[in-house]
Amino acid sequence: MPSIDLSKTSLRDLNLALHRLAKDTNETLWTISNPGGEHSIAAGVDAPVTINIDGNVGYYCGGMNKEAKIIIDGSAGQGVGENMMSGLIHVKGDASQSAGATGRGGLLIVDGNASARCGISMKGIDIVVKGDIGHLSAFMGQNGRLVVFGEAGEALGDSIYESRIYVRGPVASLGADCVEKDMSDEHRAELIELLKTSGEAHKVDVAEFRRYGSARKLYNFNIDNAGAY
């Protein structure tokens, strides 16, 4: 079980060691202490390992993650899980803006609040935020699901494509082409599965959530609006 102290080991050396891991590595459990808010900790990991980070991290922690399980025992700066492909990132504190941005797969869990643009341009990632989210979250969301236990800020789902958004609390406002939609049995079952994966299925009632998605009015160019360009 490798244990890395970032007050003694450089971030470059840590990430280099993680990038060199083979798919069949037996070094499957890593512990990182004294992260000190460093940026890009455990970015670009491409192996089925578990990485426990004891403390707060800076920008882009777990960016481009593939297969790894990254647990942050603290809060995370901008872009945690940015462009992640698969695996799990669990932030036990709060997340700054653009959490899970452009993510293509995997699951991002934030136990606290997430700031502005959570899930911006998401492309298949699942994001579960147990607190509130800021403005312009799921902006241009193309695929994937965003679940919010608390409140959502202004312009939720602005210019959204096919991402699905589930919010339990009040929404300040909806963005362009984002509308509230019916909750069918399919959507309730989908939400239950997401709650199970985040360990909250027994604590939260799916009936308290509302679903939001695309009105699909921005998909095609409208010649009547040509003069606006």
Q: Distance between CA atoms of 196 and 180, rounded to whole angstroms?
A: 24
* 178 DSSP β-pair partners: 214
Domains in the chain: how many in total?
1
CA atoms lying within 13 Å on the CB side of residue 177: 18
In a domain, 226, yes or no: no
Confidence bin at 224 (pLDDT 50/70/90)? confident
Confidence bin at 219 (pLDDT 50/70/90)? confident
- 29-33, strands of its sheet edge to edge: 3-5, 29-33, 50-54, 69-72, 88-91, 107-110, 123-129, 143-148, 164-167, 210-214, 178-181
Query: Are the C-beta atoms of residues 154 and 173 closer than 8 Å to each other?
Result: yes
**Helix, strand, or coil (residue 30):** strand
Q: Distance between CA atoms of 31 and 151, rounded to whole angstroms?
A: 33
> What CATH number corresponds to the domain at position 102?
2.160.20.60
Confidence bin at 20 (pLDDT 50/70/90)? very high
In a domain, 105, yes or no: yes
Give residue 195's domain range: 3-218
In a domain, 80, yes or no: yes
Confidence bin at 4 (pLDDT 50/70/90)? very high
pLDDT digits (tens, 9 = 90+) for 157-197: 999 999 999 999 999 999 999 999 999 999 999 999 999 99
In a domain, 109, yes or no: yes
In a domain, 153, yes or no: yes
